[in-house]
């Protein structure tokens, strides 16, 4: 049995920690929220009084926190000073590449092993143990990272050195944001041209326009039964999170000198949609912005 400190038991961390406990690991859980910690204990985790207490007793540490500032603060002040020598520390949050590389370097300098392993898949995948992990770590550490993540994963992929997992995540989500907007624009045009949306779905999903945003996550209700469009865009992957990831992608593009004009447009559109009060809707709800039918939401 491995002792795993799990820090950050929110929407995603709750299910992830529960799946580790279900797999027979000793999960030492901590969250600033007492309610989140109580839920984790109810799901088989062991209550820790602080991050430091959980980390000090662990062979592996996992953090699942809101953003880069939280990860920098928690790793520097609470994880690194208290971790056992050689401890494996894995951050699964979605954060900027620069912060991921910074905390990995700090941890390595302190004699620890570090990885970034952001996830694709939302709360349902976290609960079901079917997340996709994109891992940035050394070749030497990868086997241990993969074994740690397995009970929470559908797939684990080694993207490269520390920071590469975050780079893969923001590039993937920029592509997803752009493709969703493209699909929504096509539906909006089809509607104006009096083409039946479901006929259009049947055709495009079998033609060269097919993509995940259309075939698996169709934003027009009725296309794909399991898609959030069939439940008034509740649940799924929140617009606020897509907006966050597109902002991370644009910050990274500006710093690295990459030209990403469509990513910039996607970020502007999702920021606008979020600012209008739709941050808690699934990101495919942006269809209604394209159609000029926000009142339907």
Rule CB under 6 A: is residue 8 a binding residue for ligand NAD? yes
- Is residue 1 within 8 Å of 25, Cβ to Cβ? yes
Which range binds ligand NAD by CB under 6 A, 5-13, 20-28, 153-161, 274-282?
5-13
Q: Which helix or strand (DSSP H or E) is residue 239 part of?
A: helix 239-256
Residues 122-161 that bind ligand NAD (CB under 6 A): 122-123
Residues 44-83 that bind ligand NAD (CB under 6 A): 51, 64-66, 70, 74
Q: What is the DSSP string of 277-294?
A: IITTSBGGGGHHHHHT-G
Distance in Å, CB of 64 to ligand NAD, minimum: 5
Q: Indicate the residue among 184 and 241 with the shorter CB distance to ligand NAD.
A: 241
Strands 46-47 and 26-30: parallel
Q: How far is CA 110 from the centre of its chain?
A: 27
Q: Which residues of 3-25 are buried (b: 16+ CB within 10 A; e: fewer)?
A: bbbbbbbbebbbbbbbbbbebeb
163: region left, alpha or beta (phi > 0 left; psi from -120 to 50 alpha):
left
Rule CB under 6 A: is residue 17 a binding residue for ligand NAD? no
Rule CB under 6 A: is residue 241 a binding residue for ligand NAD? yes
Residues 253-272 that bind ligand NAD (CB under 6 A): none
Q: Indicate the residue among 112 and 248 with the shorter CB distance to ligand NAD.
A: 248
Q: What is the DSSP string of 201-237?
A: HHHHTTSTT--HHHHTT-SSTTSSTTSGGGGTT-SSS
Rule CB under 6 A: is residue 99 a binding residue for ligand NAD? no
Rule CB under 6 A: is residue 221 a binding residue for ligand NAD? no
Rule CB under 6 A: is residue 279 a binding residue for ligand NAD? no
Among the listed residues 26, 84, 109, 169, the single catalytic one is 169
CA pair distance 291, 227, nearest whole angstrom: 19
The verdict on whether 206 is a catalytic residue reads no
Which residues are catalytic, by number? 169
State the residues that interact with ligand NAD by CB under 6 A: 7-13, 30-33, 36, 51, 64-66, 70, 74, 93-94, 119, 122-123, 237, 241, 244
């Amino acid at each position: 049995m491995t002792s795993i400190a799990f820090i950050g038991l929110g929407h995603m961390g709750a299910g992830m920690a529960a799946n580790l406990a279900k797999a027979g690991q000793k999960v030492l859980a901590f969250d600033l929220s007492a309610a989140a910690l109580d839920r984790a204990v109810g799901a088989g985790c062991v209550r820790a009084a602080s991050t430091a207490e959980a980390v000090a007793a662990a062979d592996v540490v996992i953090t699942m926190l809101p953003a880069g500032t939280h990860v920098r603060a928690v790793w520097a002040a609470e994880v690194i000073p208290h971790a056992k020598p050689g401890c494996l520390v894995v951050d699964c949050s979605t954060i900027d590449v620069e912060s991921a590389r910074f905390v990995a370097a700090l941890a390595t300098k302190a004699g620890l092993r570090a990885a970034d392993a952001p996830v694709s898949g939302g709360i349902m995948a976290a609960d079901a143990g079917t997340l996709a992990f994109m891992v940035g770590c050394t070749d030497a550490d990868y086997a241990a990272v993969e074994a740690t993540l397995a009970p929470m994963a559908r797939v684990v992929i080694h993207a490269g050195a520390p920071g590469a997992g975050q780079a893969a995540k923001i590039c993937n989500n920029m592509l997803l944001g752009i493709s969703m907007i493209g699909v929504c624009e096509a539906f909006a045009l089809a509607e104006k041209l009096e083409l039946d949306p479901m006929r259009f779905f049947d055709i495009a999903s079998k033609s060269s326009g097919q993509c995940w945003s259309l075939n698996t996550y169709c934003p027009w209700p009725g296309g794909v039964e399991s898609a959030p469009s069939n439940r008034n865009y509740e649940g799924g992957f929140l617009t606020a999170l897509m907006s966050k990831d597109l902002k991370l992608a644009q910050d990274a593009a500006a710093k690295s000198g990459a030209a990403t004009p469509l990513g910039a447009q996607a970020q502007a559109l999702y920021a606008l949609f979020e600012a209008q009060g739709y941050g808690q809707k699934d990101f495919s709800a942006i269809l209604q912005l394209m159609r000029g039918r926000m009142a339907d939401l």
